[in-house]
Chains A and B, each alone.
Chain A
Amino acid sequence: MANGAAVGDRSTLSRPNLPALFAAIRAAGYAIVAPTVRDGAIVYGPVERVEDLPIGWTDRQDGGTYRLVRRDDAAVFGYNLGPTSWKRFLFPPHERLWTAERKEGSFTVTPEPTDTTRWAFFGMRACELAALDVTDTVFLKGAVADPTYRARRSRILRVAVQCGQAARTCFCTSMGTGPAVTGGADLILTEILLPGPHRFLVEVGSPAGAEVVDRFAESLSPAGPDDDRLARETVERTAGSMVRRMDPTGLRDLMAENLDHPRWEIVANRCLSCTNCTLVCPTCFCSTQEEVPDLDVRSVERWRRWDSCFNLGFTELHGASVRKSGLSRYRQWLTHKLGTWHDQFGTSGCVGCGRCISWCPVGIDLTEEVAAIRAAPRSSGVEARGR
């Protein structure tokens, strides 16, 4: 690779050489955040070494269930998604926006210094790249771009992995977001466990990815036609194994026309308004602001914190909430995700990652709710309107 790697180049990386990829990413100036096992789940956090990855672990997921179990091999990416999403590294759960100080009868506002960490998101799944597109639209493409999201987003490296398996909660094929990685990544890995030695197909997705590849080209070998085929088959197998489905056709109108559907009552009777689904969802973006004054109110800090449309106080107006009932709050969540998101951002707010299904303590499953509404839609619902 004397002339350097180019977008679209494919090569093979042997499993023993995986640390060379870590080293190259670091040498290119990134800190690595990756899946790692913590408190019985696979979460995303800063990692130092390849050994910090969940090697030989997998997850068993279903409605209201998440469990880690040992695999009978040493797969590096043999699991799917945990409760964290990459969102938290671009839009942190709690962040200081500015500090203000009283001075000579006035006040001065000092914005929080820009976070200049260059994160490599190591192990992004196809659905997560789609979620990144969604949050980019929300935070960057509106009338006002969010400056802290923009600063962090401009510095990341996206190292994607094509899924070698799907969890029972995954439904990316329905939402058209996975499991194949079709763009939006700097590097794309596919793990090949068998036949032959444990290895990865490495595809260059962008100039930033090419720069990383150039730093460890000596650890790579040209990809053979077999590896290309095996990678393709891996993704096809994963897609074929997907058990959950959600018919995405006309979801926007289906939601708008069924605001008075009896199903909302049934799901509201189960929903605890615990906010878990909004916390694990890779696209939920709601936040609130908190004013933190010091003792003599000479200086104050302004913080932004994740909020949830399931919180009763979220819609407080004149001492009462607009959405008092659990029904209205669940309905807001689902109709926003699948319906009005299209009006607001020209895309679905759901990428089919299934996190909200696993982490719902009572196992509410949006694919079931949508199917129930679709099976018996209201004809008398509110008319869907164009903008």
Chain B
Amino acid sequence: MLGDRTGSPGGASDVPLAPLPYQVRSVVRETPDTATVAVVPRGSRRIGPTRPGQFVMLYAFGIGESPIGVSDETDGVLYHTVRDAGRITHALTRLTPGDLLGVRGPYGHGWPMEAARGKDVVIVAGGLGLPPLRPALREILRDRDAYGRLEIVYGARTPKDLVYYAELQEWRRRADLRLQVTVDAAGRDWYGDVGVVTTRLPDARFDPERTVAFVCGPEIMMKFTAQALVGRGVPAESVWVSMERNMKCAIGLCGHCQFGPSFVCRDGPVLSYGELAPRLGVREL
């Protein structure tokens, strides 16, 4: 069942911790502090193919590296949606076409696509949790008949914080999926739903016993979402969350990303709620 979750931990580099040179192809400003950066190899060497939910280490030359999810890979172009959250991500969101950066990876175990086949799929994203879910969503849409119902719930702080606006509109129009978008707070110019993502879950339609859920967002949001899904009868082992921890190496050697027995970089970032539930209840683990 987990066969398709294996990564290629060494990446393409001979030195496990050395980035390969890439360059920026295009940049799309998603929100005031978030940009989607498309990158291609600068030279003949590239990282291996990525799977939905995996991440890479993006390297701002002379500044440092950050773990960043893959939000799409199409025709050899890697897309990363980055929020300016500090020194490194500030530099990454400031990149312009032609700029140089480094990439190593891909790392970790992503979404269990194989386990989702033939099942209803519920995708719940909070804030910048949507980008790492997008490749899973796209894979499902490419082979739509292989899956059951597709329910997407996406929550952001305000309407301004919604990413992939055009794509959301497109998904909204599709008949073969249902997308609910909600924001925590909005002005009068927002006619959509207001409230945290969990308030939209009762409306989602799925057959709990044959459902697989992919959840990504702030830890507290993932915990409450997972609890709500389990409350509706989805087995805890079928609810998958993508964990975030400080990471320095991404290959299981630096110790930073530990969450109880798991190295989030190597055993995750996507882990089953069935395994994590007891740990998510422990403060400061």
A interface with B by C-beta (< 8 Å): 97-98, 100, 102, 105-109, 111, 138-139, 142-144, 146-147, 256, 259-260, 285-289, 291, 293, 297, 300, 302, 304, 307, 309, 314-319, 322-325, 327-328, 332, 336, 340, 343-344, 382-383, 385, 387
B134-142, B162-170, B203-211, B250-258: which lies at the interface: B250-258
Checking A293, A322, A336 against B284 with a beta-carbon cut-off of 8 angstroms, the contacting residue is: A322
Known: A143-B10, A323-B284. 10 other contacts (CB 8 A): A109-B13, A139-B253, A146-B16, A287-B253, A289-B64, A300-B62, A317-B245, A340-B261, A344-B263, A383-B278
Interface size class of B (residues with CB under 8 A): 35 or more
Checking A142, A293, A297, A343 against B252 with a beta-carbon cut-off of 8 angstroms, the contacting residue is: A142
Q: How far is the CA of A315 from the CA of B256 in the complex (A)?
A: 6
B17-25, B146-154, B191-199: which lies at the interface: B17-25
Query: What residues on B are CB-neighbors of A291 within 8 Å?
Result: 62-65
Query: What residues on A are CB-neighbors of B61 within 8 Å?
Result: 100, 102, 107, 297, 300
Q: Are A107 and B100 in contact (CB under 8 A)?
A: yes
Query: What residues on B are CB-neighbors of A146 within 8 Å?
Result: 16, 253
Q: Are B256 and A318 in contact (CB under 8 A)?
A: no
Shortest Cβ distance from residue B9 to the other chain A in the assembled complex, whole angstroms: 4
Whether, in the assembled complex, B282 has its beta carbon less than 8 Å from a beta carbon of chain A, the answer is yes
Whether, in the assembled complex, B86 has its beta carbon less than 8 Å from a beta carbon of chain A, the answer is yes
Q: Are B15 and A97 in contact (CB under 8 A)?
A: yes
The residue of chain B having its C-beta at the shortest distance from the C-beta of A343 within the complex is B261
Whether, in the assembled complex, B285 has its beta carbon less than 8 Å from a beta carbon of chain A, the answer is yes
9 A-B Cβ contacts within 8 A?
A100-B102, A109-B13, A109-B15, A111-B14, A111-B15, A286-B255, A287-B249, A307-B256, A344-B263
Query: What residues on A are CB-neighbors of B85 within 8 Å?
Result: 318-319
The residue of chain B having its C-beta at the shortest distance from the C-beta of A314 within the complex is B256
Whether, in the assembled complex, B248 has its beta carbon less than 8 Å from a beta carbon of chain A, the answer is yes
Q: Are A287 and B282 in contact (CB under 8 A)?
A: no
Known: A340-B261, A344-B261. A325 touches B284 (CB 8 A): yes
Query: What residues on B are CB-neighbors of A288 within 8 Å?
Result: 248, 254, 256
Q: How far is the CA of A100 from the CA of B18 in the complex (A)?
A: 9
Q: Are B255 and A387 in contact (CB under 8 A)?
A: no
Q: Are A107 and B253 in contact (CB under 8 A)?
A: no
Query: What residues on B are CB-neighbors of A316 within 8 Å?
Result: 246
Shortest Cβ distance from residue B247 to the other chain A in the assembled complex, whole angstroms: 10
Q: Are B19 and A109 in contact (CB under 8 A)?
A: yes
Shortest Cβ distance from residue B94 to the other chain A in the assembled complex, whole angstroms: 15
Q: Are B278 and A385 in contact (CB under 8 A)?
A: yes
Q: Are A315 and B246 in contact (CB under 8 A)?
A: yes
3 pairs of A and B residues whose beta carbons are closest in the complex: A286-B255, A343-B261, A328-B284
Q: Are B278 and A332 in contact (CB under 8 A)?
A: no
Q: Are B246 and A314 in contact (CB under 8 A)?
A: yes
The residue of chain A having its C-beta at the shortest distance from the C-beta of B263 within the complex is A344
Checking B10, B255, B266, B285 against A328 with a beta-carbon cut-off of 8 angstroms, the contacting residue is: B285
Query: What residues on A are CB-neighbors of B202 within 8 Å?
Result: none
Shortest Cβ distance from residue B14 to the other chain A in the assembled complex, whole angstroms: 8
Known: A105-B42, A139-B253, A142-B266. A387 touches B248 (CB 8 A): no
Q: Are B254 and A286 in contact (CB under 8 A)?
A: yes
Shortest Cβ distance from residue B246 to the other chain A in the assembled complex, whole angstroms: 5
Q: How far is the CA of A256 from the CA of B263 in the complex (A)?
A: 16
Shortest Cβ distance from residue A181 to the other chain B in the assembled complex, whole angstroms: 29
Q: How far is the CA of A325 from the CA of B285 in the complex (A)?
A: 10
Q: How far is the CA of A143 from the CA of B260 in the complex (A)?
A: 19
The residue of chain B having its C-beta at the shortest distance from the C-beta of A322 within the complex is B284
Write the B257-285 contact mask toward A (1 if CB under 8 angstroms, else 0): 01011010010000000010011011111
Write the B1-36 contact mask toward A (1 if CB under 8 angstroms, else 0): 000000001100111111101010000000000000
Whether, in the assembled complex, B244 has its beta carbon less than 8 Å from a beta carbon of chain A, the answer is yes
Shortest Cβ distance from residue B262 to the other chain A in the assembled complex, whole angstroms: 8
Shortest Cβ distance from residue A372 to the other chain B in the assembled complex, whole angstroms: 20
Q: Are B15 and A287 in contact (CB under 8 A)?
A: no
Shortest Cβ distance from residue B260 to the other chain A in the assembled complex, whole angstroms: 6
Shortest Cβ distance from residue B34 to the other chain A in the assembled complex, whole angstroms: 14
Shortest Cβ distance from residue B265 to the other chain A in the assembled complex, whole angstroms: 10
Shortest Cβ distance from residue B273 to the other chain A in the assembled complex, whole angstroms: 12
The residue of chain A having its C-beta at the shortest distance from the C-beta of B259 within the complex is A322
Query: What residues on A are CB-neighbors of B251 within 8 Å?
Result: 142-144
Query: What residues on A are CB-neighbors of B281 within 8 Å?
Result: 382
Checking B9, B86, B245, B246 against A144 with a beta-carbon cut-off of 8 angstroms, the contacting residue is: B9
Q: Are A142 and B253 in contact (CB under 8 A)?
A: yes
Query: What residues on A are CB-neighbors of B187 within 8 Å?
Result: none
Q: Are A109 and B285 in contact (CB under 8 A)?
A: no
Known: A147-B15, A260-B282. A387 touches B261 (CB 8 A): yes
Shortest Cβ distance from residue B109 to the other chain A in the assembled complex, whole angstroms: 11
Q: How far is the CA of A259 from the CA of B16 in the complex (A)?
A: 34
Q: How far is the CA of A322 from the CA of B245 in the complex (A)?
A: 8
The residue of chain B having its C-beta at the shortest distance from the C-beta of A109 within the complex is B18
Q: Are B15 and A307 in contact (CB under 8 A)?
A: no
Q: Are A307 and B285 in contact (CB under 8 A)?
A: no
Write the B42-60 contact mask toward A (1 if CB under 8 angstroms, else 0): 1100000000000000000
Known: A105-B100, A319-B86, A328-B283. A287 touches B245 (CB 8 A): no
Query: What residues on B are CB-neighbors of A315 within 8 Å?
Result: 245-246, 256
The residue of chain B having its C-beta at the shortest distance from the C-beta of A318 within the complex is B85
Q: Are B246 and A106 in contact (CB under 8 A)?
A: no
